[in-house]
Structure 1
Amino acid sequence: MNIEIKLKELLKKISMEQKELAELTGLSSRTISELVNNKTERIPKTALVKIAIALKVNDIRELIDFAEDQ
């Protein structure tokens, strides 16, 4: 079982580009890209909080969830 970051789907749903999210959160484009593409081993809590605030997410499961190994 892995942790899946669902940021790609969320951004697509609200028609927001990664660059715009980076600007809203103050996070680097690289950080956003790594999160969107599930390329990070450690998910910074501060990044999740900034993203949740910027996207008005109230339930953390909208951003991350468990995924079965493929």
Structure 2
Amino acid sequence: MEIEVKLKHLLAERKMKQVELSNLTGLTQRTISELVNNQIERIPKNSLCKIAEALEIEDIRELIDFKK
């Protein structure tokens, strides 16, 4: 079982570009890109919190979930 970051879908849903999220969160564009493409091995909690706040997410399962 793997953890899937659903950021690509969330950004598309909100018609938001990665650079916009980077500006809102203060995270680097590289970090955002790695999260969008599920290419990150360790996901820093502070990054998830910043993204959740910027996208007004209240349930972490909207952002990450298990991939079967």
Bucket of the pairwise TM-score, normalised by the shorter protein: over 0.9
Structure 2 CA distance for aligned equivalents of residues 44 and 63 of structure 1 = 13
The TM-score normalised by the length of structure 1 is: 0.96
Q: Calculate the aligned-residue CA RMSD, in Å.
A: 0.3
Please report how far the alpha carbon of residue 64 of structure 1 lies from its aligned counterpart in structure 2 after TM superposition. 0.1
- Counterpart residue number, 2:26: 26
Q: Would you identify which runs of 4 or more consecutive aligned residues in structure 1 move more than 2 Å?
A: none
| Structure 1 residue runs without a partner (length 5+) | none
* Identity, % of aligned positions: 65
The TM-score normalised by the length of structure 2 is: 0.99
| Structure 2 residue runs without a partner (length 5+) | none
| Equivalent pairs, count | 68
